[in-house]
Structure formats: C-alpha cells, structure tokens
Amino acid sequence: MTKSRWMILVWILVLVVGCAESDPSDSSGSPGGSSVGPGSTAINAARIVAADDEPESWLAHGRTYDEQRFSPLDQINDGNIGELTLAWTYDTGGDRGHEATPIVVDGKMFLTADWSIVHALDAATGELLWSYDPEVPGEVGRIACCDVVNRGVAVWEGRVFVGALDGRLIALNSDTGEVIWDVRTTDPEKPYTITGAPRVVKGKVVIGNGGAEYGVRGYVTAYDAETGDRVWRFYTVPGDPSLPFENPALEAAAETWTGEWWKIGGGGTAWDSMAFDPELDLLYIGVGNGSPWTRVHRSPGGGDNLYLSSIVALRPDTGELVWHYQTTPGDNWDYTATQHILLADIEIDGEERQVLMQAPKNGFFYVLDRGTGELLSAENYVDVTWATHVDMETGRPVETEEGIYDDQPRMILPSPSGGHNWHPMTFSPDTGLVYIPTIELALIYALDSGFEYNAKTWNLGIDLAAIPKLLGEMPAVPTFGSLKAWDPVTQTEVWSQQHPGAFNGGLLSTAGNLLFQGTADGRFIAYSADVGEVLWEEQVNIGIVAPPVSYAIDGEQYVAVLAGWGGNVIVGMDAGVSAASTFENPGRLLAYKLGGEADYPDVRQKRQAFLAAAPGSGYSDQEERGQDLYHQLCAVCHGLLAVSSGVTADLRLMSDRVHENFDVVVRDGSLVENGMSSFADVLEEADVEAIRAYLTRRGDEDRAAAAQ
C-alpha cells in the first residue's frame, strides 16, 4: 500500500463529543400522557442473548450485546459474491449524513435518517410501512458538532426507541410509529445533542448525549422501557465540589481535577459506544473528551480528569461504577474513548480471556479484561506522534514533546477525528481478527492563550483561526483512510487496504468469509475476510459512512447499507475526493441479494460550479478579518478555507442572489429550516460583510485555479 495521495491536511475539528447536562431539566415530557400501546415486535432480552439462534435477524445495534457485528449467515460467500446484485432501494428524502445501523426483525427494517427521522420498511421489498419525524428545530443544527446525524434505533417489546437531536428520547409503537412516550433527557438551555443509538438492557433504555465542544457535563441515563420513567443517571465527570457529589465514584474523580472545571461543564460526553455482558452483569460505556479540549484551560493545576476519555463498567440496574480504564489521562487533543466497544473471548498466552477491545481516537488499540478492567495489551494501530507507547506497568500512555502545544503550534497525529472515529469495527470469530476503519489525518493544534468561554460557539481552547496562517509553515502529512485487519492477540496488522478518502464506512463481517465496507468516494466493496482480497465492488456514487448489516427473509440472505455521506466530514474533509464533491448526496438504503433485479436510481451530478459561476464582487479591506471570523464560526460546518466536503453548502459558489441576501441568511436565519441557524447573537452586520468578502475572494481564487 503506497501512500499515494499527499495533501496538506489539516483538519479542524471533528469529532464528536458528548455532552453533559444539568439536572434540573430532566423533565418527562409525556410518560403517562399517551394512550398509545406497544406494537407487535417482540424483541426481548432472551432473544438478543440468543441472537445466534436466529441469524436471519439483526436485533440490536451491534447485532448482539457484545457488538461484534458478525453475521453467521453464509449463503452469500466468497465463492458466489460475484452474483450479488441490487434487490431494492429506499430513499429517505434526507441529504445530510446517514450513520444508522438498521434493526431487522420479523421481516421489518427500522432505521433513522438525518434529523433523527425514523423509517420502518418491509425488509424484503423496501416498501415504506411508516415514518416518524420528531420535528427537531432547525436551529439545533448549530449545536451539533458533527452534522445532524443519528446512528439508529433500538427495538424492544413492541417499541422503537430513538434519541432525537434536540435531546429527547422517544418511544414509538413498532407497528404504527405513534408516540408512546417522549422524555427530555437534557437541559434545553444547554448545548446538548443526541446522535447515538439507544441500547435496551434489562428493560431499561440507556442513552447518552453530545456537546463537549460547546461546554457541557457528560452523562448517561437509563429509562424504564415501558413507562419512560428515569431509573438512574451516571455522570461521567464531577460537578461543583461545593455541592454534594452524586456518588462515591464522582467524589473520587474530583480529586483528579483542578480549577473550576464545572463552570464550563468538563465534558466527558458519552455519545456513542456501549456494550453489555449479561453474565458479568456489566454495561460498558465509552466516555468522550474534555470540555474545553485544552487541559491548561480546563484543569489548570493538572490532573487526569476522570472519567474523561475512559471506558467505564457500570451495573445496569443501578448505574453504579464497577471499574474504569482511562485511555488518555488529562486529555488535551479531543481523544475520546467513545469509539466502538467490542467484547469477545480470545486466547491469550494459552488462556481463554474475556476481553473488551477498543480503538479509541488516540491511536492505540486496547485489549482489557472486561471483568476487571485490567490492561492486557495496547499497541498503536495508526501513526501516533503524541505518545511513544502505553506503559504496561502503569497502564498510561507516555507523552512526547511533539504532542505538547502549550508553547508553539504542533502538527499532531492523530487529529481530533482520531485514528478511528465512530464508524464501527467488526470482529470475526472465524478469522480471530478485528477490522478497523482507520483515519490517517493530522491537525495543527495551536493554543488559544486568550481563551474565554462563550456559550454561543465552540469552546475548544485551541485557535482554529490560526490554522490557515500556519498551513504553509508545517510539513505536509498524508491524508487517507484505510481498512486494517488487526490481530488482537499479537497486536499486529495482518493486512490492510488503503482508500483515497479518510472518512469511510463502518464494517460488517460474515460467516461467508466476507467483509463489507462503503467508502467516501461512493463505492460499496466486499473483501475476503481472511486475506483482504477485493472480491466485489459496486460504484454507487453516494459516499457511505454507515455500517452494513445482513439478514435473511424466506431463505434469502440480504446485505444492506445506508448510503449518504456526512458526519464529522462537514468540516471540509475529503473535499474533491468524496462522492459528495461531484454528486448530490441522497440518503438511500441499498439492499443486495444473490440475483437481485433492481436498478440503481440516478444520482445527479452537481453543477460544474467554478467555471460557471459569475466572478465575485464586493471585496473590501475587511476580508482578512472575515477569514478569522469564518474560521472561528463557520468552518466547522462549511470547511477549512471555505472548501466544502460537499455535504453542506459550498460558500465559494454562492449565487448573486445569495450574495445579495447573505445577511438575511446569516443573521436573520432565513434558512434555519435547513439547519443554518441565525448568528445574530455573535455577528454584527459589518462582520457578516467581512465574511462575505473573504468568501468572495476564495471563490475567485479557486475559480481562477480551475480555469488554468
């Protein structure tokens, strides 16, 4: 694998985060207020635990509670994969990131699109059974760090549970989509969001949240699946120490913090990963980064800042902490441990061990004893410059000088997108390998020495506006993505395949010796799981970040994946490489089987904008100030240097009409329904004009370059 594409890379923020909360607003919107009862979809604990007895279903987020994302089905296999063709498609109507894992049971498929909209389909034909739109206000898009995505529903005892972007947890009738109950899980006055899939464990729906880029306190909450009543809440970071601690675990954690971290919230949002071991009776939660990112601003006297960037093991009945392992003590880089948690039993040194595995953002692959949290091994799975290794005596990473940016900006690997982000891995018990969709990307970290908290913007503690000015001074670092087959016993790479884009799809492995992945550049690919040979490839012209699933109906095996690129790429990643750079980005479920007879609906090309657009006008002497403002407030969605990933609007291409009405869009919020909130709270009219001047210059620059 040669690193064929070198580009200056930088990236700015990405990542997800979790969020935090404050207790007062945990109100129950409607338990008891609805007469709607459950539907007929009878998923329960016994059925999920025995999921291997019905491989035709995909009953839970990771298929099984151990979240291996391995399908025992083998009708489609490495011998007949060439006969795999499209069976049906379903368009969600959305055009932002689609990250969901479909749940498939009793012939029905339940999935989410962008803006937390739920769709129930006939899994054999794609026919729509019902849909439900939680009607998330458009302005919530502004406090979603990484696109208006949702990673899927949970289904349990006739109910479909969805976490809505605006912080609600909603139970729907599985037959009709009618609301059974709807509870608010976050304080609406604080910048919390929900993008993760709920999990149902022992009759309780568990949901976290995001928001650490904006300033919140992270937690997960368990609700009674039947009634929506809150059962317990576990905060991931301590609150104001002058108030009583919620539990002894938080009192202990407070010893690892300094300063007044609770005023911003501390972070530690748990926005994605969970797994459950029914025998050990442990629920595992991945905890996110600090709020703000920089430890000098968050905890100025030092400290590990528990339980940031940690895996915590909780009792599912009470939320009590049993053990924790912190991957990045004193996180300084947005290195969350919210990435996929995967449980397996593997032989290490001749002994069968019950392990928990994770490839968090910080670049190291961890194997832990999942009963105790003991570190069994850790090795880097991508290039890492912030630490040399993990010390097996202390269990701590050994930081490097190159990773410290307090005194000077540094180009650091991995970036805040991580060596691996939320895109799920898979473990094949047949090969004994873990497959990782990696992100090879660096970021310039520059300390914002004048950092002050502003509830209306990102609060990182690093200076995003410095990045464009430093680009020419830093070494070029290659940007790409790869699919790595990783041996968790020897902690070595067995094979890998490189992709041109950094942000590719999650993974599915099957008993047919197959491994499926979609890519940023709009392909859907099947590899042999054992040696990584490309066996089958479809050009679908829609970028894919979601993980595929497999199921069977009437004796026919299907492989299905949700296309629709987005997520943390909205900061402008993979511009020019992604399918979204060339084509429109419709959310579309693609279902395949052997001998399927469906055709691909067209995906329209975008207009060839640079050469077609009129030259800009209206430069002003304010455009340099506009560049700073743009990178402080706009680049997180519209891209560094105003180069869009293709998921959000490319502001270099604004029409004359948009130029004329730019202030109406930016300050009056005329496009709020599309997720473009008003910024009148932080921008004056002259500021908006300065930003417009900067965008005009950037459009002209790139148009001139394209014309040569």
In sign, the C-alpha dihedral spanning 319, 323, 325, 331 is: positive
Q: CA 662 to CA 134: how far, in whole Å?
A: 29
Q: CA 334 to CA 293: how far, in whole Å?
A: 6
**Number of residues lying near Ca ion (CB under 5 A):** 4
Shortest Cβ distance from residue 338 to Ca ion (Å)?
8
Closest Cα partner for 1 from 535, 497, 526, 532? 497
Select 78 or 334, whichever has its Cβ closest to Ca ion.
334
Interface segment toward Ca ion; rule CB under 5 A; list 119-127, 331-339, 615-623, 697-705: 331-339
Select 338 or 678, whichever has its Cβ closest to Ca ion.
338
Q: CA 418 to CA 422: how far, in whole Å?
A: 9
Q: Would you count residue 146 as binding Ca ion (CB under 5 A)?
A: no
Q: Which of 95, 166, 277, 334 is catalytic?
A: 334
Q: For residues 83-122, which are near Ca ion according to CB under 5 A?
A: none
Shortest Cβ distance from residue 361 to Ca ion (Å)?
8
**Residue carrying the six token digits 């930003």:** 691
Shortest Cβ distance from residue 364 to Ca ion (Å)?
17
Interface segment toward Ca ion; rule CB under 5 A; list 22-30, 215-223, 274-282, 328-336: 328-336
Amino acid at the residue 470? L
Closest Cα partner for 282 from 356, 175, 364? 356
Shortest Cβ distance from residue 643 to Ca ion (Å)?
22
List phi, psi (to 5°) of 437: -85, 105
Shortest Cβ distance from residue 16 to Ca ion (Å)?
5
Beta partners for residue 422, in sequence order: none
Q: For residues 582-611, which are near Ca ion according to CB under 5 A?
A: none
Select 15 or 413, whichever has its Cβ closest to Ca ion.
15
Binding mask 530-569 for Ca ion (x = CB under 5 A): ----------------------------------------
Select 289 or 327, whichever has its Cβ closest to Ca ion.
289
Q: CA 303 to CA 253: how far, in whole Å?
A: 10
Q: CA 674 to CA 80: how far, in whole Å?
A: 44
Q: Which residue's beta carbon is nearest to the bound Ca ion?
A: 17
Interface segment toward Ca ion; rule CB under 5 A; list 185-193, 242-250, 281-289, 646-654: 281-289
Interface segment toward Ca ion; rule CB under 5 A; list 295-303, 326-334, 439-447, 524-532: 326-334
Select 16 or 205, whichever has its Cβ closest to Ca ion.
16
Shortest Cβ distance from residue 80 to Ca ion (Å)?
42
Select 355 or 636, whichever has its Cβ closest to Ca ion.
636
Spatial CB neighbours of 695, under 8 Å, sequence gap ≥ 6: 616, 626, 630, 642, 651, 652, 654
Select 17 or 43, whichever has its Cβ closest to Ca ion.
17
Q: Is 656 exposed, middle or buried (0-12, 13-18, 19+ CB in 10 A)?
A: exposed
Q: CA 453 to CA 491: how far, in whole Å?
A: 41
Known catalytic residue: 521? no
Q: CA 455 to CA 216: how far, in whole Å?
A: 10
Q: What is the number of other CB atoms lying within 10 angstroms of the CB of residue 401?
A: 8
Is 77 in contact with 513 (CB distance < 8 Å)?
Answer: yes
Interface segment toward Ca ion; rule CB under 5 A; list 126-134, 333-341, 452-460, 535-543: 333-341
Shortest Cβ distance from residue 665 to Ca ion (Å)?
27
Select 256 or 309, whichever has its Cβ closest to Ca ion.
309
Q: Would you count residue 460 as binding Ca ion (CB under 5 A)?
A: no
List the end-to-end C-alpha distance of the chain, in Å, as a whole number: 32
Binding mask 4-33 for Ca ion (x = CB under 5 A): -----------x-x----------------
Is 595 in contact with 614 (CB distance < 8 Å)?
Answer: no
Q: Give the tokens for residue 73.
A: 């089905």
Is 508 in contact with 559 (CB distance < 8 Å)?
Answer: yes
Q: Would you count residue 334 as binding Ca ion (CB under 5 A)?
A: yes
What's the Rg (C-alpha) of the chain?
24
Shortest Cβ distance from residue 407 to Ca ion (Å)?
24
Q: Would you count residue 289 as binding Ca ion (CB under 5 A)?
A: yes
Q: Would you count residue 338 as binding Ca ion (CB under 5 A)?
A: no
Known catalytic residues are 334
Binding site for Ca ion (CB under 5 A): 15, 17, 289, 334
